[in-house]
Amino acid sequence: MLGPNMIIACPHCGFPAKIRTYFSWNTLGAVFWSDGKQVAPMKPEIPAFVFCRKCNNLYWIKDAKEICEEKNFKSFYSHLEEPRYIEFPSFMQFPMALEIIENKKYVRIEMLYCFNNLIRKKKESEITPDMQKIHEANLYALIDLFDENNENELIMKAEVYRNLGLFEKSITLLEKLNNPKLSLIKEKFLTEIKRNNKKLFKLFGPVYGYR
Ligand SMILES: [Zn+2]
């Protein structure tokens, strides 16, 4: 359920931007992807950080001050242009984000999701050779960041190896998974590897029901 649109100010330069707010949402009809991302039609995707349209500096949404509701903006700031919605950073902005944000694992996973979103949204034609190169470097960097003792990260690492076409390494990791709850996931990955498929695939879904 949607709340009112709010106007926030860039903490660096004060430039206003618009965000959607939500009272509630659910994960009805969720799709689970091989990179670990869950996408649901009624679950909002909100960026955690953005680049300001005016000053181009990165800021975290949680650090940006709320100025007012969108409907009141004109009465307070009639001299200013109508603010535009915040946007997720583009893939090519991620190398900049990597320089600024300490938590490299977080940024690199978001960067992977950002790249894969183009596949999810059937916009692969937008992937340039430069983006492909940066994406691959990101995959190699991610290999060193995942903790194999954590089942979720082990699966993500196996996924990254698969994306790189390093199928043997991916299989070796998947074989370490012995949690019976994950055996279906393991089978699905092994099936794609048998097909020599490096690409992102739908793991489950859409799943109907509350989670
Ligand atoms: Zn700014």
pLDDT band at 25 (very low <50, low <70, confident <90, very high): confident
Q: To the nearest whole number, what is the mean pLDDT of the chain?
A: 94
Span from the CA of 56 to the centroid of ligand 1 (angstroms): 6
Residues 134 and 59 grouped into a single domain: no
Are 54 and 136 in a shared domain? no
Residue 211: what pLDDT? 44
Indicate the pTM of the whole model: 0.92
Task: Judge whether residue 205 has pLDDT over 90.
Answer: no
Residues having C-beta closer than 5 Å to ion ligand 1: 10, 12-13, 15, 52, 54-55
Q: Is 105 within the bounds of a domain? A: yes
How many Å lie between the centroid of ligand 1 and the Cα of residue 45?
A: 22
Tell me, yes or no, whether 62 lies in a domain. Answer: yes
Distances (CA, A) of 111 to 86, 203, 208: 18, 20, 28
Domain that holds residue 140: 91-207
Residue 13 lies in a domain: yes
Q: Give me the amino acid identity at 6.
A: M
Residues 161 and 198 in one domain: yes
Is residue 145 exposed (0-12), middle (13-18) or buried (19+ Cβ within 10 Å)? Answer: middle
Q: Are residues 96 and 21 in the same domain?
A: no
In the reported structure, the alpha carbon of residue 83 is separated from the centroid of ligand 1 by a whole-number distance in angstroms of: 13
Asked whether residue 105 falls in the same domain as residue 198, the answer is: yes
Å from CA of 92 to ligand 1 middle: 19
CA distance 124 to 206: 22
